[in-house]
């Protein structure tokens, strides 16, 4: 049996819960999931996983990179050591903006 016609429409103004009750109901069910994703250095993160956690599940995600990648290999240019770390830091900063996560380094 179909529901009565009046049940298909929102309550008339002034007859439903007020703003304080609505805010309280929303706040009572809000849960924040916080995730710390740790990698040894840039390029170790999973872009798909971080994006899914942050944008798909709306979790508060932080990426912690233990280094800046200054000790790695550079197949694209002559930069090594500190200069390579600067390049990889900038690349990871740009990537994490796309993922929707916050980025931290230990050094």
Check residue 20 and give its pLDDT: 80
- Higher-confidence position of 13 and 60: 60
Check residue 69 and give its pLDDT: 80
Residue 6 lies in a domain: no
Domains contained in the chain, number: 1
Residue 7 lies in a domain: no
Nearest to 92 by CA among 37, 20, 25: 37
Nearest to 34 by CA among 64, 62, 55: 62
Instruction: Read off the pLDDT of residues 28-52 as tens digits, 9 standing for 90 and up.
Output: 777 788 999 999 989 889 999 999 9
Residue 90 lies in a domain: yes
Average pLDDT over residues 1-29: 67
Q: Identify the helix (H) or strand (E) that includes residue 60.
A: strand 60-65
Distance CA 33, CA 57 (A): 9
Residue 18 lies in a domain: no
With 0.85 as the threshold, say if the pTM is over it: no
Band the pLDDT of 7: cuts 50, 70, 90. low
The parent domain of residue 97 ranges over 32-105
Residue 60 lies in a domain: yes
Residue 4 lies in a domain: no
Check residue 45 and give its pLDDT: 92
């Amino acid at each position: 049996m179909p529901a009565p016609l009046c049940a298909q429409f929102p309550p008339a103004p002034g007859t439903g819960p007020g703003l304080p009750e609505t805010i309280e109901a929303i706040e009572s069910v809000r849960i924040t999931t916080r995730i710390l994703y740790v990698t040894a250095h840039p390029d170790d993160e999973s872009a798909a996983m971080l994006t899914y956690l942050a944008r798909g599940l709306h979790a508060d995600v932080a990426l912690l990179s233990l280094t800046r990648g200054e000790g790695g290999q550079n197949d694209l240019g002559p930069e090594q050591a500190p200069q390579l770390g600067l390049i990889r830091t900038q690349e990871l900063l740009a990537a994490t903006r796309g993922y929707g996560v916050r980025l931290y380094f230990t050094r």
